[in-house]
Chains A and B, each alone.
Chain A
Amino acid sequence: MKNLREIIKNKRLYFDGGFGTVVQSMGLKNGEAPEMWNISNPDKVADVHRAYIQAGSNIITTNTFGVNREKYNNFKELITSAIDCAKKAVNGREDVFIAFDIGPTGRLLEPLGDLPFEDAVSIFSDSIKAAVSSGVDLIIIETMNDAYETKAAVVAAKENCDLPVFVTNVYDKSGKLMTGANPLAMISMLEGLGVDAIGMNCSFGPDVMLDIVDEFIKYSSLPIITNPNAGLPKVSDGQTYYDIDEKTFAGYMTELAKRGVSILGGCCGTTPEYIRETVFSTKDIPLRNIEPRDITVVSSYTHGVIIGDEPVLIGERINPTGKSKLKEALRINNMNYILNEGIKQADKGVHILDVNVGLPEIDEAEMMKNAVYSLQTVTNLPLQIDSASPKALEKAMRIYNGKPLINSVNGEKESMESVFPLVKKYGGVVIALTMDESGIPDNALDRLNIAQKIASVAKTYGIDKKDIVVDPLCMAVSSDSHGAMVTLESVRLLKEHGFKTSLGVSNVSFGLPERGKINSTFFANALENGLDCAIMNPFSESMMDVYYTYRVLHNLDFGCADYIDYVSSVEKTDKPVLKDSEITLYDAIVKGLKDSAVNSAKILLETEKPLDIINNQIIPALDKVGVDFENKKTYLPQLLISAECASLAFDIIKDAMPKDSINKEHAVILATVKGDIHDIGKNIVKVLLESFGFCVYDLGKDVSAEKICQSVKDTGCRLVGLSALMTTTVPSMEEAISMLHKEFSTPCVVVGGAVLNEEYASMINADKYCFDAMETVRFAKEFYNVK
C-alpha cells in the first residue's frame, strides 16, 4: 500500500515534465488538444509516460490538464482514458504514483471574472469524481494563477476524496499570482485547507523560481514542489522552442534542491531528457528536514498577516451593537454602507477587519456571506468572521478567499463541536474565549486552564495551537473593579504558556464617561503584558497614539518612520469655528469643496433647523449645478463632485433630523439589468437622487427581473430605474419591465443607458426614458410631486 503522505516527508520525488512539448514531436497537429490523444492515440500517451518513468519520474501526471465539463461533453471518457494510459505505463509499480492532473477552468472567478465560486467547485468536483472512480494515487492542482480558483479546486478535492492533494501555482517575476497573492498568502490558505505539498510551476524558468523559493522555505510546514518551464518560448520557422537547455535546467534544479525543495519536475518545454538530467544532478542531495513552522497567520487573497511578531489592529466598526446607522443599513441591505465602513478603517491602517452582522431581524448567515464576499471586492485586508452562529460562520468561511480569523469558539462542548470542524475543513485561526459551562472565571489561572482545555480539544480535530488566539475577556471595570487587572494578568500568563492573545479593548470602559482615556491606558498596559491583537476603533486618536508610540518604544518602527508619518497626518479634531472667510454651504456644493461642505453643514446645524438647511442651501445649490450642466456651462465631473458634497452635507443634516422625517415614500429602486456589468451611469443617478433627498435602494448590477420584483414587494417602492449599457442586455430590461407590469399596478419604470433612446424605450414598454442623471432627478421630483 502506497503511503504517499509519509513518503514525501523522507524521500525526494520527481514529477514528470511537459506533455504538450513531447506529443508535438510525436505528431500532434497544430491546434489539436493533447488530451484528445487519450482516445485517439492511447499507446502514444502511454509511451510518453513510460519515457518519463524511465528518465526517473516517480509521479506521473495524467493527460487531463485541459479537461473539464466546461470544455468537453465527454470529459469523463477523456479522464478515464487518460488514467488507463497512465496505468498501462506504470504497470503496477509501487514506487511510481499516478497524479490526476487538474488545470484551470480557463475562466476567471467572480468578482474579477464571471464564474461563481460554487460553479467552479462543481466543475472540479465532477472531474475529481470521475478520476477517483478510475483509481489514482493523488490529485495535482497545477498552473493556477488565482487564489480563489485554487481554493475551489482544493475544496472540491477534499469533498470528494481522501487522496493526498498537491498544489502548484503560477507566480510572476514579482513573486505574485496574477490576482495578487504572494507565497505567504497561498501557504497560509493551502495549509489551512489541509493540502499535502505546495509550490510553483510554469510561468518562467527555474531561475525566477530561485528568487521566490526562499519564501516557501521560510513559511511553509509542507514539502515544496517546483516544476518550472524550460525558460521562455521562442518561435522560429513556425516551431516553438524554449531557451534553457537540459543541463542548464538541471543546474538550476540542483540549486533549488539545495535550498530545500523536496519534489522536482518540469513544465512547458521540458522533456524526459530534462528530467533525466535533473534526477542525475540532484539524487544525492540530502533532503531538507521539514519542520512545522510555528507561525500564526491569517490571509486575504493577496497577503498574510502574522500574529505574534508585533501588535495587530483589528477594526471593530462593522458591528451593529450600538450603531443605529449600521443596523439600518443591514435591515435595508445597504451593502455600500458596510463597504464604506470597511474602506475607511482600512485607510486608517488596521491590519484585519472584524465583520459582525448579527441582527435578529435579518438572515444573518446570508448577510455574513454577502458582506464577506463584498468586502473582499473592495479591500485586500484579511477579515475576522465574527458570529455566534455556526451557520453564518460556515457560509462565510466557505467563500472566503484566503485564511480567515474566526471569532469565536469557547470552552463549552457545544461550541467546540460546532466550530472546530469548520476550522478543520476551511482553515482559519480561531479566537478562543476563556469561558465554558461554568461561566467566565474570576482569576487568570482558571482562564489559562480553559485555554489549555480548548487547545487540547482542538488538537483532536487536527487543529494546532498555532491556529488558536486566546481572548481572556475584558470585563467592564464599572461593574467589576478587579476586571482589568485580571485580564492583564491573564494576557501575561497566556503569553508565558505559548498562546497568542486578543482582546476587545474598549469593553473595559463600558458604562463610564470619557471612555477613550480608559481604553487607551488599558490598551498600553495590555500591550506591555504581551497582547498580540486588539479589536479596537481605529478612529480613536488616543488608541492609535498608543499603537504608534508602543512600536517606537519597542524598536518596531525603523527610523520612527511610521510614527512620523502618523503624527503628520493626524487631523485636528477641534470644533469647527466659523470664520469671516468661511464659504457658505451653497458655495461649497456649487464649487465641489467636500471639506468645506462638511464643515459648513456642522456649523449651520448650530443655528438653523435641518429642513431649512436642506431647502435653503443644499437643494438650491444642486439646482444651480444641474441647470449649469444642462446648459453646458459645467461638465459631468463637476456635477458629480457637487452631488457628493451635497450627499456628505445631507448625511450630517439627516443625523440631526427626527427619524420619521426621512421620507421613505420618495424612494427609487435602481438596478443594472441581468447580464450587464456596467454601473457607472446607475451610480451617477444614485448619487444625484440621494443628494436631492430621495431614498435609493440600489440593487447593483447584473440583476435578474425576479430580484427587481422582489425588491418592489419588499419595499413598496413605486419608482424603478433600470439601466443597460450593452445592446445584448436590452432584452433583459424588456423582461424586467414585463414582469413588473404584470405583477404590479405600480411601479413606474424609467430607463436609461448608452444603448437606449426614446424609441427603444417605447418598444420595450418602459414608462419613461431619461437621457441623463439630471433628467432622471427631474422626473423623480415630478413623479413624487416634490418641489
Chain B
Amino acid sequence: MIENSFVCGSISSDIVPDIDEVVARLRVDKDFSLGSIKKCRDKLVKSLDIKYVGVKVDVSYPDKDVSDIGFGPVKSSLMYNKLKGCNKAFVFAVTLGHDVDRLLKRLSVTSVYEHYVVDALASSYAEKACDAAQNIIKGDMACYNRFSPGYGDISLEIQPKVLELLGAGKYINIVIGKNLLMSPTKSITAFMGIK
C-alpha cells in the first residue's frame, strides 16, 4: 500500500496474463493453441521491464459531472460516476518499458506474424501489470474499479497532467508526445476511487 502518499517500483516479468485477455487480443477462439505462440511469448518476456508509480490524492467535485483529483477540474460524467463521490483516490501508471517497443519495431521488419502476436501479448501483459500495480498500491483498502483516460468521455487531453502529477517521466520514464500517445507505448494510467 502507498505509505506517505507516493510509491514506485518494479514488477516481476513472471506475471501471467489472463487467458481470456490473450484470446481476445489475438482475435482467436479459446480452442486456439497458445503453445504455438510460446516462442513469441518468450521473446516478449525477455524484453519486459515493468515499472509502476502511484499517488494518493484528494478528490473534490466542483460541479455535477466535474471532478478534481489534483490538477484541476475534469468534466466527464463517466469519471464523476466511477469515483462515486469518494474523497480520496489512487492515481497510478504502469509501463512495460522501452525494450518492448524496440522488440516490436524489430519484429515489424522481420515477421508480421510475430509482430502481431507479440503486440497482442504485450497489451495483455500491460493489463496484468496494471492489476499487479493496483494490488500493491491499494493493499487491503477497498476501492472501486479502476478506469483510465480515453475511456468513454474521459478525454485523453488530461493525460499530460496525469503523468505530471505522478512524476511518471522522472520515476518510470513515461513521456507523452504531441499526439497524446505515451512512450513506451505499452503504458497505462488509471484512477481508483477509495471507498
A→B interface (CB under 8 Å): 106-108, 111-115, 145, 178-180, 202, 233-236, 336, 339-340, 343, 377-380, 635-637, 640-641, 643-644, 675, 677, 679-680, 683-684, 686-687, 726, 728
Contact = CB atoms under 8 A, between A and B. Distances in A.
Given A107-B175, A112-B183, A113-B177, A343 B27 contact: no
Contact of B119 (A113, A380, A641, A680): A680
A227 to B, nearest CB: 15
Given A236-B4, A378-B105, A637-B37, A677 B115 contact: no
Nearest to A679: B108
Given A106-B169, A114-B177, A636-B26, A378 B106 contact: yes
B183 A108 contact: yes
A253 B172 CA distance: 26
B19 interface: no
A236 B183 CA distance: 30
A635 B99 contact: no
Given A635-B26, A637-B37, A340 B110 contact: yes
Given A113-B175, A680-B108, A636 B116 contact: yes
* Residue with the highest number of chain A CB atoms closer than 10 Å, among B36, B108, B111: B108
A65 B95 CA distance: 26
A113 B5 contact: no
B181 A636 contact: no
B116 A680 contact: yes
Say whether chain B's binding surface is mostly helix, strand, loop, or mixed. Answer: helix
Contacts of A234: 4, 6
B167 to A, nearest CB: 8
B40 to A, nearest CB: 9
Given A113-B183, A637-B37, A680-B115, A180 B108 contact: no
Contact of B117 (A111, A379, A637, A679): A637
Contacts of B36: 637
Nearest 5 A/B pairs, CB to CB: A114-B177, A640-B113, A635-B28, A178-B173, A687-B112
A108 B109 CA distance: 22
Contact of B29 (A379, A635, A675, A728): A635
Nearest to B172: A178
Nearest to B29: A635
Contacts of A684: 112, 116
A343 B106 contact: yes
B109 A343 contact: yes
A234 B7 CA distance: 8
Nearest to B55: A235
19 contacts: A107-B175, A107-B178, A111-B105, A114-B178, A114-B183, A115-B177, A178-B173, A180-B98, A202-B170, A235-B4, A377-B102, A379-B106, A380-B102, A635-B32, A636-B28, A641-B113, A643-B113, A679-B108, A687-B112
Contacts of A180: 98-99
B164 to A, nearest CB: 10
Contacts, number: 97
Contacts of B173: 145, 178
Given A112-B184, A343-B106, A726-B179, 16 more contacts: A178-B98, A178-B173, A339-B109, A340-B109, A378-B106, A635-B26, A636-B26, A636-B116, A637-B26, A637-B32, A644-B112, A644-B113, A680-B119, A683-B112, A683-B115, A687-B112
Nearest to A644: B113
B101 interface: yes
Contacts of A728: 179
B95 to A, nearest CB: 11
Interface in B6-37: 6, 26-29, 32, 36-37
B175 A106 contact: yes
Nearest to A642: B113
Contacts of B99: 180
B179 A233 contact: no
A235 B98 CA distance: 28
Contacts of B102: 112, 377-378, 380
Contacts of B6: 233-235
A178 B175 CA distance: 11
Nearest to A173: B10
A202 B170 CA distance: 9
B118 to A, nearest CB: 10
A644 B115 CA distance: 12
A637 B175 contact: no
A430 B183 CA distance: 35
Contacts of A378: 102, 105-106, 109
B87 to A, nearest CB: 15
A677 B185 CA distance: 11
A773 to B, nearest CB: 10
Contacts of B26: 635-637
